[in-house]
A and B are shown apart, each in its own frame.
Chain A
Amino acid sequence: MADRATAEAPLFEGAEWDFEAVQRCYDAIERVAIDELELDVYTNQIEIISYQQMLDAYSSTGMPLMYQHWSFGKRFVREEQIYSKGAQGLAYEIVINSDPCISYCLEDNTMALQALVIAHAAFGHNHFFKNNHLFRQWSDAQGILDYLDYARSFIAQCEEQHGAQDVEQVLDAAHALMPSSVFRHRRPPHTSLADERARQRERRIEEERAVHYLWDAFDHPAPSSKPDEEARKRKREMGLPEENLLYFVERHSPILESWQREVLRIVRNIAQYFYPQRQTKVMNEGCACFVHYYITNALHHAGLLTDGAMLEILHNHTNVLTQPGFDSPHARGINPYALGFAMMQDIRRVCTDPTDEDREWFPDIAGSRVWRDVLKDAWANYRDESFVQQFLSPTVMRQFRMFTLADDDGKPFYTVDAIHDERGYHEVRDTLARSFDVAEFDPDIQIVDVDLLGNRCLKLHHTEHNGISLDAKTRDETLKHLRKLWGFEVEFDN
């Protein structure tokens, strides 16, 4: 702080904010973000909302538009309860992966917080959304708001035509299967609103044609004599095995009407949209925190932020970035904000001021001084799992005092099998990386077979890793929902 330049007047004084001050701040932040950090962002749309609107946004998974369903009401009721009891404050912002990138800022924020939030969301998250390869490939930022609008009106229309109860049942079942309904390996085709409408029209025509199809059933070829080959052919035709449960049901369920299929499609498209976010929690938050930390410090350094504002920002910053130890009453596992921020700060340190250890671990980047490029490359091309695998340094492991704990069902004790020392670094890093792998924490469930000509029983297969089975209660409940959609028996083959 000693060398702080005092050439420029601060952007604002005091806690109250107004639109002019926010605009001034935004411009100053933008200069740092674009000129110094060289970020690449979608156009920003910053919306000021009240706490009730924030609660509304919370309950519809953060989206500004959503179709209506009781589960959002449940979430709303719970959030409202928690908030009104004062058990938990609200987030200062919500940011949506869309183009333009919408960030919601709470009206109760002080001016310093608004500056922090704009740097964090409108530049940090925004850059990440626009550049990370997962978001680029798998979610469609241009179309999402249009799509949600379409989804909302489609479901409202269905409720009118088919009754709210029927729609609710389909949605319940679809929501149950939602986490198991993303394409993890295939890239989903991007569809625009126009395509969406055209496809719907085709579906209606197809439906009308189905009446004639009845008569075609008579001249089916006789079943082949080789049942094995027959089964293989059948599976191939139906694209089995299939990991995206809703996709399969939507295409092949014998009982669903076309509007029900469309509802399933909407739900799984939304699941797919959120899929990249689940894989990049650490990176996304780390990126945003790194950016806001850099920008606010730069502004403070240039004399644009008062000491008071900077202290408030740092206070909030550290509150969010605490990593309680495993034995703390506040322990909730690894804090993605803390880990992401620490790793990115560390990358910068490795680039500019490496130790011998860093040179050994990161020969490519240590001392290269181009930390901006290294970080931007990381933000663009990694996800949590690969990012940890690639960039978690011994320094960060020591800083967090990480250790691994193994829990083997057969043994009466947990074992500490690696700690933050020379022998353990690799072990800890691998374990941590794996724990961020969605394939690890989402159960691996696929549809493997269905006998369309016989009893139409749908066969699922759960591939167990490390002997971890499915939770029996939720499994049975979820199967009930799947049965409703499939119309016939559904079972696990193991």
Chain B
Amino acid sequence: MAHFIDRRLNPKDKSLGNRRRFIRRVRNAVKKAVDESVRRRKIADVDQQENISVPADGIGEPHFQHASQGGYRRNVLTGNKKFRVGDQIKKPPSGQSGQAGKEGAADGEGEDEFLFVLSRDEFLTLFFEDLELPDMIKRSLKEITVTKPQRMGYTASGTPANLSVSRTMRNAFGRRLAMRRPSPAEIQKLEQKVEELKDLKKPNAAQKAELRTLRAELDKVLRRRLHIPYIDPLDVRYKFFEMRPEPAANAVMFCLMDVSASMGVREKDLAKQFFVLLHLFLKQRYDKIELVFIRHTQVAKEVDEETFFHSRQTGGTVVSSALKEMKKIVEARYPPSLWNIYAAQASDGENFSGDSSLCAELLTDDLMKRCQYFAYTEIVDEKEANLMNSEDNGMELWRAYRHVAEAWPNFAMKRISGRADIYPVLRELFARKSSGVRDG
């Protein structure tokens, strides 16, 4: 006697809790790997699945076991081809014994690195960890698409609200024709004839017979009409909707960065995280986002992402050159009527003296009108950040941008000295989102 049980529909993620515990256990290593991968990857690919390898130290499961070397051991091996009793086989020189030491390699303990794949969700959770995003936003960033019901033809089943009257009637009409449902005119004609014959005072035999046949025919026709309904459930059609990703307009994101010598690795990492976060945010609103990277010293140049983050240049700093370059690119390739333009600028705040007012002018007169949003971050030392605790004082560029910020609500600026400072720069952008996506 046996019981058969079909368990296939049982919940399958029994190991999820264990997996979560495991990731928490290797959190530090994984976090480091995540940050490393954000640094290495292209902005647009940051939220893909990632192979993570963590050192095996923290997750070893030691137990007492015999050393793999030393002592006197004897094993039985199979597949002897030519050995005879007393044969001696030289041991391999490195002490890495070929066959005899096998028992020492217990499962898993020999590995130095442990490799596994983080899902997008797990990856983003770790990436967001010390960005101090409010929970609401974390959740909405993880959702990839906004969907919208879209008409996709007709179905035979649905809710009354979706009933398509015209399609239903058309089907009914076709069916009535095909089934030869007697039309009211036909019936009327028959009835008329029957009446006429009935009204005759003295019908002859032929007329009587005709009346009988006509009556029988009318009877048949009436019955036929009952059997073939005017509208049959078969005719009913409903409008069908399919959830489709919401078509959104195109967006372009400009990344502007000062790459003069004063921007070190730390500054660039922070800048990149800032760009990544903005990109993640844009990604959920737009289907297609183009990225434009403009780096500048005293001259600005559009470059690819690799060069943007990794190559160095020496020279002075003229911020307006980047803004001019951006303006040029916008005019050439991204007409604001077709593109939503976002810009993120990262700098250490230094600028060629006198240039800052030009920057403010460029923004106020031209760029701010075309941009959806312009975010400026000044990356400073943690020590400096404490000194410059007031928003009002700062270097020339900062002061100049203050005026822009006052005039334009879609201009955001912030000093950042650590990862936790990044989100507040974009806060307004996120806040606007929650008040209504579609008007963005």
Contact = CB atoms under 8 A, between A and B. Distances in A.
B115 A76 contact: no
B79 A466 contact: no
A215 interface: no
Interface in A119-173: 122, 164, 168, 172
A197 interface: no
Contacts of A475: 64
A391 interface: no
Interface stretch (A51-59, A231-239, A259-267): A51-59
Interface in A461-483: 462, 464, 466-475, 477-478, 481
B2 A405 contact: no
A11 interface: no
Contact of B64 (A70, A403, A445): A445
B5 interface: yes
A71 B87 CA distance: 45
Interface stretch (B68-76, B313-321, B329-337, B427-435): B68-76
B90 to A, nearest CB: 5
B6 to A, nearest CB: 5
Contact of B8 (A30, A50, A122): A50
Nearest to B77: A326
Interface in A244-280: none
A168 B21 contact: yes
B102 to A, nearest CB: 6
Contacts of B84: 416, 419
B77 A466 contact: no
A77 B22 contact: yes
Given A56-B14, A81-B117, A107-B8, A478 B63 contact: yes
B59 interface: yes
A325 interface: yes
A416 B89 contact: yes
B6 A19 contact: yes
B17 interface: yes
Interface stretch (B93-101, B304-312, B385-393): B93-101
Contacts of B59: 70-71, 74
A72 interface: yes
Given A48-B7, A56-B12, A405 B100 contact: yes
B62 interface: yes
Contacts of B80: 325-326, 401-403, 419-420
Contacts of A49: 7-8, 10
Contact of B70 (A47, A80, A409): A409
Interface string A283-306: 000000000000000000000000
B75 A73 contact: no
Interface in A373-391: none
B72 A406 contact: yes
Interface stretch (A177-185, A221-229, A307-315, A350-358): A177-185
Contacts of A417: 74, 85-86
A467 B73 CA distance: 9
A236 B100 CA distance: 41
A213 interface: no
Given A49-B7, A77-B116, A404-B75, A474 B21 contact: no
Contact of B76 (A45, A73, A81, A404): A404
Given A71-B61, A326-B78, A413-B90, A419 B67 contact: no
B65 A73 contact: no
Given A72-B18, A73-B15, A74-B114, A323 B78 contact: yes
A57 B275 CA distance: 42
Interface stretch (A359-367, A423-431, A448-456): A423-431
Nearest to B99: A326
B66 A76 contact: no
A218 interface: no
Given A328-B79, A401-B78, A471-B104, A407 B13 contact: no
A401 B74 CA distance: 16
B384 to A, nearest CB: 37
A331 B83 CA distance: 18
A400 to B, nearest CB: 4
Interface centre among B12, B74, B83, by most A CB within 10 Å? B74
A143 B248 CA distance: 60
Nearest to B6: A48
B24 interface: yes
A47 B7 contact: yes
B179 to A, nearest CB: 42
A407 B79 contact: no
B77 A409 contact: no
A100 interface: yes
Given A407-B101, A414-B91, A466-B71, A402 B76 contact: yes
B63 A43 contact: no
Contacts of B3: 43-46, 100
B7 A59 contact: no
B2 A44 contact: yes
A25 B67 CA distance: 49
Given A176-B61, A435-B75, A467-B70, A47 B5 contact: yes
B383 interface: no
B19 interface: yes
A104 B3 CA distance: 12
A469 B71 contact: yes
Contacts of B85: 416-419, 421, 423-424
Contacts of A469: 66-67, 70-71
A415 B88 contact: yes
A187 interface: no
Interface string B239-259: 000000000000000000000
A424 to B, nearest CB: 7
A416 B87 contact: yes
A324 interface: yes
A432 B87 CA distance: 19
Interface string B1-45: 111111110101111011111111100000000000000000000
Interface of B: 1-8, 10, 12-15, 17-25, 59-81, 83-91, 97, 99-104, 108-109, 114-117
21 contacts: A56-B14, A60-B14, A70-B18, A71-B59, A73-B22, A104-B7, A179-B64, A327-B81, A334-B76, A401-B80, A405-B75, A405-B89, A423-B85, A441-B103, A443-B65, A464-B71, A466-B72, A469-B71, A470-B64, A473-B62, A474-B62
Given A100-B3, A402-B78, A419-B84, 20 more contacts: A44-B2, A46-B2, A47-B4, A47-B6, A48-B4, A48-B8, A69-B21, A71-B22, A73-B17, A73-B18, A73-B20, A76-B15, A84-B117, A326-B80, A328-B79, A401-B78, A405-B89, A416-B89, A462-B64, A470-B67
Interface of A: 19, 22-23, 26, 30, 43-50, 52-53, 55-56, 59-60, 68-74, 76-78, 80-81, 84, 100, 104, 107, 122, 164, 168, 172, 175-180, 323-328, 331, 333-334, 400-409, 412-421, 423-424, 428, 431-432, 435, 441, 443, 445, 462, 464, 466-475, 477-478, 481
